[in-house]
Amino acid sequence: MGGIEGANTATTLPPDAQLRRPELADLLDALAPLEGLKWLRFLYAYPNKITTRLLESIAKHDTIAKYLDVPLQHASANVLRRMKRGGTSDRFLEIIAKARKTVPGLVLRTSFIVGFPGETEQDFEELCAFITAAKIDWLGVFSYSDEEGAGAFDLDQKVPKRTIESRRRKLMKLQQRISKKARKQWIGRELDILVEGESEETELLWQGRSLDQAPEIDGKILINDFGPHEALVPGTFYRAQITESHDYDVVARILD
């Protein structure tokens, strides 16, 4: 597992955890009720670590982000074997379906590598089909590149750079369509947002994020109407309503 976004406070694991190997779910159950905790998010959970207990812990606490960051890397069993990773497209879809059933409103983020040595056109098409079926909320796509000393450096069947970039663009275009449709469904939604400050793109807008968005890696909420406020305070939570949507970002007005 990766980092946790939330409180930095000592806590006590439940008594039964002392009789078995502690799990992330135990830590989340202990942290979630802490006074003053607003949002708690954990990142980078491997597929085989998405247990029923973990999903149930996410579902039952309002302070835990209904958000899973799972680095799948690929969906083709052939490529995953060459990466020395387990899994198949069907197995990943089963995990996603179970997670969404257990945690209503779950937001899913993952990342993929295209052009890994040995990736065939069929492997890539399988990845595209998986993304279409999974309807992932936030997606990162990385182009494979050789790095001396890395485990894949000595693998054969290298994919040409031009093919790698073509596949990356195709995958991002596919995800753009999925994301654009999903963002449209946000229009009219009221939610709490954490204001971060002026937009990185223009001084005319401010930006923030919701519990559905991890810092720096997901889409942003752009704020064009401060509502009843003369000014906003970075690092402060406000109630807002989504008024417009774009491919990855949405626009909001502050309500209070």
Domains, in order of start, for the chain: 4-184 (3.80.30.20), 190-254 (2.40.50.140)
Q: What is the DSSP string of 124-159?
A: HHHHHHHHHHH--SEEEEEE----TTSTTTT-SSPP
- Other Cβ atoms closer than 10 A to 36: 7
| Helical H segments across the chain, by residue range | 24-31, 52-60, 77-82, 89-102, 121-134, 161-184
Q: For residue 27, which amino acid is it? A: L
In the prediction, which pLDDT does 218 show?
93
Burial-class residue 87 by CB neighbours within 10 Å (0-12, 13-18, 19+): buried
Q: Measured between alpha carbons, how far is residue 241 from residues 137, 190, 252 in Å?
A: 20, 4, 5
Report the predicted TM-score, pTM, of the whole model to 2 decimal places.
0.84
In the prediction, which pLDDT does 5 show?
57
Q: Are 238 and 193 in contact (CB under 8 A)?
A: yes
Q: What is the spatial distance between Cα 96 and Cα 106, in angstroms, rounded to a whole number?
A: 10
In the prediction, which pLDDT does 178 show?
95
Distance of CA 194 to the CA centre of its chain: 17
**pLDDT in single tens digits along all 256 residues of the chain:** 444 555 444 455 556 655 667 889 999 999 999 998 999 999 988 888 899 999 999 999 999 999 999 999 999 999 999 999 888 999 999 999 999 999 999 999 999 999 999 999 999 999 999 999 999 999 999 999 887 766 676 677 889 999 999 999 999 999 999 999 999 999 999 999 999 999 988 888 999 999 999 988 999 999 999 999 999 999 999 999 999 999 999 999 999 9
Distance of CA 149 to the CA centre of its chain: 29
In the prediction, which pLDDT does 225 show?
94
In the prediction, which pLDDT does 3 show?
46
In the prediction, which pLDDT does 200 show?
84
